[in-house]
């Protein structure tokens, strides 16, 4: 029989009220408190806290507080990833972020979702992974929904809601986000 954590990580309905999951979220919140309140700017201590929080990421991740996530260990970042202020990553499932990715202020990434059936929704959640390729720029206030993949080199315009996959080297904007054009070799607009 699978644990609730195993169910969560495999994309099955799971109970977020499970003691193990609650304990892991509390651990993340304690680290986030230090990052968001105690330190509040990037220094040696903050880098150590970020490395502990994002334990499956490379060591070159820059976060401008405040930042929020559920677990931290489900966020896997490549090199040179930048999160601007007020970013939220609901990482019940794996969030894979390539290298050289920029997130504008207030970007939200959601892996967590809820069953459509009202009775199931009362006791369980469900999650789907999010993948973001290398060299992407995600504009301010973008929402990336569960199960979405954004291809390398793509740009998502500010305020967009990404509900479906975006191919590589594209400019996508709107709610819902739609590809409005391919970007050239240098990804110039």
CA 122 to CA 42: how far, in whole Å?
A: 40
Residue 148 near residue 163, CB atoms below 8 Å: yes
**Catalytic residue annotation:** 114
CA 31 to CA 46: how far, in whole Å?
A: 10
The tokens of 78 are what? 């490549």
**What are the residues facing 172 on neighbouring strands?**
156, 179
């Amino acid at each position: 029989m699978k644990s609730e954590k195993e169910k969560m990580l495999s994309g099955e309905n799971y109970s977020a009220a499970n003691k193990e999951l609650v304990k892991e979220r509390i651990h993340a919140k304690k680290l986030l408190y230090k990052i968001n309140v105690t330190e509040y700017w990037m220094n040696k201590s903050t880098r150590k806290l970020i490395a502990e929080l994002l334990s499956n990421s490379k060591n070159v991740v820059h976060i401008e507080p405040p930042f929020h996530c559920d677990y931290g260990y489900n966020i896997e970042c490549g090199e040179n990833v930048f999160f601007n202020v007020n970013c939220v990553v609901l990482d019940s499932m794996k969030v894979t972020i390539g290298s050289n990715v920029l997130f504008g202020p207030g970007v939200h990434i959601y892996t967590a979702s809820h069953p459509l059936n009202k009775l199931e929704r009362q006791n369980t959640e469900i999650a789907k992974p999010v993948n973001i390729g290398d060299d992407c720029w995600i504009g301010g206030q973008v929402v990336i929904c569960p199960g979405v993949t954004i291809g390398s080199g793509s740009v998502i315009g500010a305020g967009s809601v990404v509900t479906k996959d975006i191919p590589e080297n594209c400019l996508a904007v709107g709610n819902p986000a739609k590809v409005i054009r391919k970007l050239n070799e240098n990804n110039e607009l």
